[in-house]
Amino acid sequence: MLTAAERYSKLIKEEAKRLGFVFCGIAKAEFLEEEAPRLEKWLKEQMHGEMHYMENHFDKRLDPRLLVDDAKSIISLGFNYYTADLQKDKDSPKISRYAYGMDYHTVIKEKLKSLLHVMQDEIGEVGGRAFVDSAPVLDRAWAKRSGLGWIGKNSNLINRQQGSFFFLCELIVDVALAYDVAATKDYCGTCTRCIDACPTEAIVAPQIVNGSKCISYLTIELKNEIPDDFVGKMDNWMFGCDVCQDVCPWNRFAEPHQEEAFKPHPDLLEMTKQDWEEITEETFQRVFKKSAVKRAKFSGLTRNIKFLGNR
């Protein structure tokens, strides 16, 4: 006979699957002792570049009980965004797959809220918060603790069945649940394809990425001009970068997502190199309505396109 915690966990995983999440795991809310020195060293070595927000809430990043009162469980979920569809013009500046459709923050946050409402209806009084890459939560650490996969050499979480083309998110709740076994095996083995393929050599060691050299950082997070050091090294990416995932052998198992909201604007994949170089703010607003690309703003995207022209 199942315990109450086991019944609740079964309910949560079934509902998560119904909502479209590709997997769901649960870990006990506690201090991330193993991650503390790693995070401290990464910040001290300035690998976060101008992402100064990474320096804030150090304690909260390591202890979810400081984010949610009486937190007992972390529910980690993965949502697939992989698509085999690519931009038609091979010479056009490239956009990372995750930004093809609607902003994932909005889409997934609604699904997490639905999951929390079901928990409240079925379990009773449940307090909690939904997190989608927008608060001081170490997503990959919790996903690993929840048994969803291991941290690859490119620092992404990799799952044996799905690869790594998925968003990570969490519900931190104040109810005790049945906890999954943490992933302990690293299936990367001796493979170094992601390290070897990184255009800017941002993966400085297994599981350590110098964020200030990462193309995703340079094209999205960096608000100043892209340093001349990176001329000719951007691999034609104007927003984000998929290189370390594209070369990962585990992503041969990635399957196309079924989320309508993640389908690209009809014009996005058809735009030519010339279209991008001549893009107007009106076109930007139309093609990227409700898109994560708006984080870069029109000025940021055109800065990136212009920089690619220097190669």
Kindly name the residue from 63, 70, 121, 133 that is annotated as catalytic. 133
Q: How far is CA 87 from CA 93, 96, 165, 240, in A?
A: 9, 10, 17, 14
Strand 208-209 relative to strand 203-205: parallel, antiparallel, unpaired?
antiparallel
Amino acid at 111: K
Q: Which of 194, 199, 236, 202 is nearest to 91 (CA)?
A: 236
First to last CA, the chain: 65
Active site residue 133: yes
Q: How far is CA 28 from CA 9, 63, 139, in A?
A: 12, 11, 14
User: Catalytic residue positions?
Assistant: 133
